[in-house]
Amino acid sequence: MLQGGDFTRGNGTGGKSIYGEKFPDENFNRKHDKAGLLSMANSGPNTNGSQFFVTTVPTSWLDGRHVVFGEVADPDSLAIVKALEATGSSSGSIKYQKRPTIVKSGAL
């Protein structure tokens, strides 16, 4: 799993949305049934901010707790997600001296 979006503190405890500090869960229609799903990270019901995660395996224990709102576009993109995951550890720290950084992104 990859997690990001804490642009206020940078340690996984911060974040802010365009709606204010937190906003409510939208729906739980999609299930975490495969790799490559983009979901909101939160600290409980209706506490969405700016943090998000991308799954790298099915994660059914997150169903009904985290809103799925997107999906990785294709197998090549999922390979990049998994390569990024390999640079981290289960504690969340980076294994290497250089942190992975997204330097260019686009919008659909």
| Domains of the chain as residue ranges with CATH | 1-89 (2.40.100.10)
Q: Give 106: exposed, middle or buried? Use CB within 10 Å, 0-12, 13-18, 19+.
A: exposed
Residue 57, Cα to own-chain centre: how many angstroms? Answer: 13
Q: What is the pTM of this model?
A: 0.84
- List the chain pLDDT tens, one digit each, 108 residues: 999 888 888 888 888 888 888 999 999 999 999 999 999 999 999 999 999 999 999 999 999 999 999 999 999 999 999 998 888 877 777 777 777 777 777 665
